[in-house]
Structure 1
Amino acid sequence: MTQSVVIQVGQCGNQVGCRFWDLALREHAHVNKRGIYDEALSSFFQNVDLRRSDGGGGGAPGSRISSLRARAVLVDMEEGVLTEVLQGPLRHLFSSTQLISDVSGSGNNWAVGHLSYGSVYGEKIMDQVRKAAEKCDCLQCFFLLHSMGGGTGSGVGTSVLKLLEDEFPEVCRLVTAVYPSSEDDVITSPYNSVLAMRELTEHADCVLPVENQALLDVVSKVQLMSGRAGGVVKKDCTVISGQGGVAKAEKPFDTMNNIVANVLLSITSSARFEGSLNMDLNEIAMNLVPFPRLHYLLSSLTPLYTLADLNIPSRRLDQMFSDAFSKDHQLMRADPRHSLYLACALMVRGNVQLSDLRRNIQRLRPTLSFAGWSDEGWKTGLCAVPPVGHSHSLLALANNTCVKSSFTELRERFTRLYRRKAHLHHYLSVDGMEMEGFSEALSSLSSLIEHYNELDSTQSTPKPHPPRLSIAT
């Protein structure tokens, strides 16, 4: 069994990460009724042997107590969220050494996070990463969770990414990066996002970009649809967040974070549970990234809700596959159907037959535009265990040129600030930050967009496949 380590950086990264741990424990409890530490749990959890030093709590001195520990490192340059973790319902999953924080924060400044805090805390963070890695029998992947708009997530997060590449070059680095909306309340978020994107483009193996506005759109759509159906959303479905995993009180972003956490649950399901066609985590990059820099994967999750009213007929299986390619289910504001597919992965969970999977690929394939050299660019996975509250689910990961529209909009927002040199002095006052850093980051993003444009220019109207040779009988 392979293992992975999760690194949560910044407020957003830690909130998404804690939703992941909360929901993962729910899934394992649903499958593992006897509560025995098994191979499925070992993929993301360590069974720690705690021995009593005295007879407190009714146990004899030296008696054994087992406790689950998450294979994770939690980083934030403000204490707030990490303090909530240590006081919240998931506190037993982490030792205090797994949590690394400062007091003052990064001030929404990528340079402070990347250069200042990255230098001060880099070795301490990597020391905890090494300890987690040493306890793995077969380390397969690092999951890095962070946001792009603030200072700690974008700055410290990308600093850690470079350190991971230097020390563990053979281990896959899969990044979940949450992008700010155009109405974001952080004025400098375009600077932070573009500076961080250069690091993601250079040092990540795969990036799952998620937009805050797309998440808001999805949540609004689900709430509207559930209201129209005359039912209520089922308690354990994807969009209900329970206690939020961090604090007991529900918070405004818990529902959005919950959707991102469910994407991670689906990606890792094959590493945690049995399946007839399990997909190895390393296979994602191998099959979906044809060019090293074009490793930004558009994700969509379906179904997004289950209604408690059993009189409402459930959606047909085919509808689930159709929804996965609809723009309304994408976690970026983009429409993949009108752009070029370089590759696509379908990760199915639950009681779905391989024949159903193949039939839907054949049904949808003629409606999608694939690069000519990747005409059969499908990767599929089947995991037997569905998410809690669902009979089946589907995660689609697409390497599609439609992501360039979001990147182009981000570049325009960056340029509006940069053209007037607005707020630059905050960055240039940080030791090690030079004007060249801005121009190089902008050039890197422009080069990425141009690569997507070049691929789009080769796109032509999909032609029907020629008839196959049939044998007369």
Structure 2
Amino acid sequence: MTQSVVVQVGQCGNQIGCRFWDLALREHAAVNKKGLYDEALCSFFRNVDTRSDGDGADISRGKICSLKARALLIDMEEGVVNEILQGPLRDVFDSKQLITDVSGSGNNWAVGHKMYGCRYRERIIEKLRKTAEHCDCLQCFFVIHSMGGGTGSGLGTFVLNVLEEEFPEVYRFVTSVYPSREDDVITSPYNSVLAMKELSEHADCVLPIENESLFDIVSKINQMTKCGKLGSSVKQASLVTSSGMKTTKEKPFDAMNNIVANLLLNLTSSARFEGSLNMDLNEITMNLVPFPRLHYLVSSLTPLYTLADINVPSRRLDQMFSDAFSKDHQLIRADPKHCLYLACALLVRGNVHVSDLRRNIERLKPALNFVSWNQEGWKTGLCSVPPVGHSHSLLAMANNTCVKPTFLELKERFMRLFKKKAHLHHYLHTEGMEQSCFSEALSSLSDLIEEYNQLDAMNCGPAVDPPRLKIAI
């Protein structure tokens, strides 16, 4: 059994990570009725005998003594981490696997990457090695961070560089939350473009998530709940509103974080549970990334309200596949059906047969414009354990040129600041930071966009829509 480690960086990364561990524990509790430490739990949790001296001895199998998440929590402001440690998940995290400071990065990539990266490098390496030592077969690091702030973008990408240097054979999956156009951090375009250069060079796969898209999805769920279209089955204590943080009032971004956490739940389901067609995490990179730098995968989830306690009728199975390719279900604002596919992966959970999977792929293929040299570029996975309270769910990940507008818009926002040299002095005051860093980051992003332009030139026009189904959110 392989193991994976989650590295949570910054406020956003730690809040999403907290939700992932909360929901993962719920899933395992629903399946593992006897409370035994098994291979499913082993993939993301350690079983520690807290009665022993020192760090505690790992117990390979048997009754759970104390579950510890295979996680490293990093933030240069200690507020969010302290909140987690005071909440219901406090015993899940090893107190020796935390790195915090008090002053924060001031929404400055240079402070996070250059200053704190240099200051905490050895401590980060030490804790990463310690985590790796507790793994029998370490397969993947998951890095969760945001792009707009200073710690997430700066220190998050610094950690990515360290991972490549120290663990070059271990896959690096990055979940990156991109700021909205109306982001209240004025320097977020700088931070995002500087981080993009590091992601393009040092990640194996990046799952870009847009705050605007998450907000649209949550608003749609809330609207349908109020209108009664989802029925009365959305409970007050459902997974869409519950939180692993010690808070009494729901924060606006909690439901948005839940969606990203659910993406990670589906992505890791094959590593955590059995299935008739389980997909290894390394197979995603091998099958979906034909060019090293073009490793940005557009994600979609169906149904959108998977985190709520709502049963999805089996008759909607075909609709679920159609929704996965609808722009309303993408976690970035994109329309993949009218752009070029390089490859696509479908991870299905629940009581779904291989024949259902193949039938829907054949039904949808005529509407999807795949690059000429990879017409059969599909990777599929079936995990037999569905999300809690559901019969089935689907995560689609597409290597598609529809991600290009997100990067173009980010470049435009960057240029509006950079042409005026606005706020540059805040960055240049940091040791090791030069104006050439901005030019290099801009050049890297421009080259990435040009690579997508070249692929789009192969696009021979829009495909024909498949048989229409009634749209259900």
- TM-score category (smaller protein): over 0.9
CA distance in 1, matches of 2:131, 2:371: 40
Name the counterpart of 2:123. Answer: 124
1:249-328 → structure 2 map (5 Å cutoff): 249-305=249-305, 316-328=316-328
Contact residue 19 and residue 257 of structure 1 kept, 8 A: yes
Name the counterpart of 1:75. Answer: 74
Letter in 1 for 2:176: A
Q: Do the aligned partners of residues 238 and 273 (structure 1) sit closer, same or farther apart at CA in structure 2, a change above 3 Å counting?
A: farther
Deviation at 1:235, TM superposition (A): 3.8
1:215-234 → structure 2 map (5 Å cutoff): 215-226=214-225, 227-229=227-229, 231-234=231-234
Letter in 2 for 1:130: R
Contact residue 366 and residue 462 of structure 1 kept, 8 A: no
Q: Do the aligned partners of residues 198 and 308 (structure 1) sit closer, same or farther apart at CA in structure 2, a change above 3 Å counting?
A: closer
Name the counterpart of 1:187. Answer: 186
CA distance in 1, matches of 2:72, 2:230: 43
CA distance in 1, matches of 2:273, 2:5: 17
CA distance in 2, matches of 1:248, 1:308: 20
Name the counterpart of 1:241. Answer: 241
Deviation at 1:225, TM superposition (A): 2.7
Deviation at 1:248, TM superposition (A): 5.2
CA distance in 1, matches of 2:447, 2:50: 52
Report how many aligned residue pairs link the two structures: 453
Q: Does 1:347 align with 2:333?
A: no
Name the counterpart of 1:155. Answer: 154
3-state SS, counterpart of residue 37 of structure 2: coil
Deviation at 1:461, TM superposition (A): 3.1
CA distance in 2, matches of 1:406, 1:141: 27
Letter in 2 for 1:319: Q
CA distance in 1, matches of 2:207, 2:302: 16
Deviation at 1:308, TM superposition (A): 6.6
Q: Do the aligned partners of residues 314 and 233 (structure 1) sit closer, same or farther apart at CA in structure 2, a change above 3 Å counting?
A: farther
Q: Does 1:145 align with 2:144?
A: yes
Deviation at 1:234, TM superposition (A): 3.0
Letter in 2 for 1:177: S
CA distance in 1, matches of 2:208, 2:310: 34
Contact residue 85 and residue 247 of structure 1 kept, 8 A: no
Name the counterpart of 1:6. Answer: 6
Q: Does 1:441 align with 2:413?
A: no
Q: Do the aligned partners of residues 246 and 267 (structure 1) sit closer, same or farther apart at CA in structure 2, a change above 3 Å counting?
A: farther
For 1:75-103, what per-residue CA distance to the aligned partner results, in whole angstroms no more than 9, with x for missing partners? Answer: 00001001101111100011221111001
CA distance in 1, matches of 2:339, 2:333: 13
Letter in 2 for 1:31: V
Which piece of structure 1 moves more, 453-462 or 28-37? 453-462
Contact residue 7 and residue 73 of structure 1 kept, 8 A: yes
Q: Does 1:337 align with 2:337?
A: yes
Name the counterpart of 2:32. Answer: 32
Deviation at 1:300, TM superposition (A): 0.4
Deviation at 1:220, TM superposition (A): 1.1
Q: Do the aligned partners of residues 348 and 237 (structure 1) sit closer, same or farther apart at CA in structure 2, a change above 3 Å counting?
A: farther
CA distance in 1, matches of 2:399, 2:330: 12
For 1:100-127, what per-residue CA distance to the aligned partner results, in whole angstroms no more than 9, with x for missing partners? Answer: 1001000000000000000111211121
Contact residue 15 and residue 246 of structure 1 kept, 8 A: no
CA distance in 2, matches of 1:238, 1:35: 23
Unmatched segments (≥5 aa) in structure 2 = 54-62, 465-473
Q: Do the aligned partners of residues 308 and 133 (structure 1) sit closer, same or farther apart at CA in structure 2, a change above 3 Å counting?
A: closer
CA distance in 1, matches of 2:107, 2:233: 36
Q: Give the percent of matched residue pairs that are identical in Structure 1 and Structure 2.
A: 72
Letter in 2 for 1:334: A
Name the counterpart of 1:425. Answer: 425
Q: Do the aligned partners of residues 273 and 313 (structure 1) sit closer, same or farther apart at CA in structure 2, a change above 3 Å counting?
A: closer
Name the counterpart of 2:98. Answer: 99
Name the counterpart of 1:59. Answer: none
Contact residue 401 and residue 456 of structure 1 kept, 8 A: yes
CA distance in 1, matches of 2:404, 2:236: 35
Letter in 2 for 1:153: G
CA distance in 1, matches of 2:236, 2:139: 30
Deviation at 1:52, TM superposition (A): 6.6
Q: Do the aligned partners of residues 169 and 248 (structure 1) sit closer, same or farther apart at CA in structure 2, a change above 3 Å counting?
A: farther
Contact residue 271 and residue 281 of structure 1 kept, 8 A: yes
Q: Do the aligned partners of residues 321 and 48 (structure 1) sit closer, same or farther apart at CA in structure 2, a change above 3 Å counting?
A: same
3-state SS, counterpart of residue 186 of structure 1: coil
For 1:335-366, what per-residue CA distance to the aligned partner results, in whole angstroms no more than 9, with x for missing partners? Answer: 10110000000000000010000000000000
CA distance in 2, matches of 1:271, 1:143: 13
Name the counterpart of 2:45. Answer: 45
Letter in 1 for 2:103: S
1:399-410 → structure 2 map (5 Å cutoff): 399-410=399-410
3-state SS, counterpart of residue 363 of structure 1: helix
CA distance in 1, matches of 2:349, 2:398: 17
Contact residue 207 and residue 298 of structure 2 kept, 8 A: yes
3-state SS, counterpart of residue 65 of structure 2: strand
Contact residue 236 and residue 389 of structure 1 kept, 8 A: no
Deviation at 1:463, TM superposition (A): 7.7
3-state SS, counterpart of residue 408 of structure 2: helix
Q: Do the aligned partners of residues 26 and 359 (structure 1) sit closer, same or farther apart at CA in structure 2, a change above 3 Å counting?
A: same
For 1:123-170, what per-residue CA distance to the aligned partner results, in whole angstroms no more than 9, with x for missing partners? Answer: 111211111101111100000000000000000000000000001111
Q: Do the aligned partners of residues 321 and 22 (structure 1) sit closer, same or farther apart at CA in structure 2, a change above 3 Å counting?
A: same
CA distance in 2, matches of 1:320, 1:106: 42
CA distance in 1, matches of 2:314, 2:37: 35
Deviation at 1:184, TM superposition (A): 0.3
For 1:386-406, what per-residue CA distance to the aligned partner results, in whole angstroms no more than 9, with x for missing partners? Answer: 001111000000000010001
For 1:239-270, what per-residue CA distance to the aligned partner results, in whole angstroms no more than 9, with x for missing partners? Answer: 61312445454222110000000000001000
CA distance in 2, matches of 1:201, 1:100: 26
3-state SS, counterpart of residue 316 of structure 1: helix
TM-score, scaled to structure 1: 0.92
Q: Do the aligned partners of residues 340 and 46 (structure 1) sit closer, same or farther apart at CA in structure 2, a change above 3 Å counting?
A: same
Unmatched segments (≥5 aa) in structure 1 = 54-63, 465-473
CA distance in 1, matches of 2:138, 2:191: 31
Name the counterpart of 1:468. Answer: none
Contact residue 369 and residue 463 of structure 2 kept, 8 A: no
CA distance in 2, matches of 1:315, 1:249: 36
CA distance in 1, matches of 2:178, 2:184: 13
